[in-house]
Structure 1
């Protein structure tokens, strides 16, 4: 099951005046493409916002359920696989945008070069292979020439936009253009880690061990010695426990057996930068990405508890309640004292 993707941007912003803009643009270069392994494909879940696509996904998922002889015997692994199969059929995977600075003509030339490359690889005889190689090299030069032309035009246009933004004192746009050219997408995560004695740790295994110790100290804190004294409720709220759909039956089975799937016990910790020296682990905040179906389980329990508890809570309780907010109480309190002060 795909997990959510966490992104962030840098925190510092530099102020540039109109005279500095041209100097900075001349010094900047377009960022190079990162070389590395391709990320796992992710489903385009944004399509589920369309009611028609969402209904089609639900129908496809029910069709997969109908293949089972006994829907009550479905396992969590089968449940995951059915969701993946239905998502692949209906919503598909995310399509990543092409480089915005390449023109349509350049992309057409790139596609032609790709076809020539295929002919070169498929050629059997040396003569055909040599002819295909000549055509491929010619087309490759055309692609590189066209790409350099597009890059110059793209950079000149951004420099013009930055100059106009600086003249009207729109420094936010200037910073965004600078960031786009430089490729600044946030602090570098591959920084040396400071040890307790202040020395820098550069080895990968040593850095991972340092991060593990730091996160264990933060996340595995001892229990408080002082426990809250909470009286037991006189009556238990009436919480709905029935199940209708296959999803609810799976959740009910986990609740009754009190056996959590192994995948739900795992999490991926993502680091988010804070202010200060990023070589110090204390200046990073960790968040944990959990398995998606475990969130469905938690949300189902929360919704059923909320429906039963909401009628018991007093009207003055505004926090953590639907359609209510502590901000409303603060606003009412402020208006009340302002009116009292004016009357006095």
Structure 2
């Protein structure tokens, strides 16, 4: 690399000639297999090429004025099979300083013509190999740290975005294709209203046959007792992380990070609910989202699973109630009841039947 320091046109013409002569001698001693980059302030203005061979050296985006150093630069570039790199791309002027620099052709760069096809491609291939190696190590580390959610998130990102189902047309119950967003929303509302609100038939005779359970005085006192801070702390600890929040966007991790101040705040609210027997109105609201079942036509509503996102505080309250009645329910349920019971499973019952 040779870097001359701004040789003027008139006062240092002899030095300029000597520089290009020395450059010729230096280039004669360099192997053609080497990559050569010549950078410097040559004080050279390069005009439109006048010879057919010069079009390979300089592009069309130049100032149509050539000085002596510009001629020397062009002759050297043609002889060495170089590219004067300043004039290969046509760009708009973004600032006055940039436009002045480009108009005066300042800071030219000469480079061998095969650099783009060889070196750049090699660097890109090398970086791609490094990139996939880094991703593989990242996935492996997350699995070792027992964090499969992050690993699957990386894999989903590599697979690319799936088809967006939010704006996809759907069929209503009359098999009419709905394209309008408002019509689709009404169709979803109608579908889940019919799905979730089922008119159940209650037979009074069957209700009369169910024996009412009588509670002892001690058990009744235990059930009616207000929840304590220890009970609140246990219920919050039982909540699973990485679950979607409700309409308030408050996650389980956020409440756990709050520590005892948050537990005391929730305890005051729960005690008020316990005494007045009235739930917070916002806690009774839920967000209904739909998830594709990964089978069937995406335009059919029945191929989506509806999921209700409740407020996390509501889940904690139900956990407090569940922990309190779970011991009592376990004693009252029949032996044949296996689902939704601790240390039991319906699969075990099926296994017993097969035996």
Q: Which has the larger radius of gyration?
A: 2
TM interval, short-chain normalised: 0.3 to 0.5
Q: What TM-score, normalized by structure 1, do the two folds share?
A: 0.43
| Larger RCO (CA under 8 A, 6+ residues apart) | 1
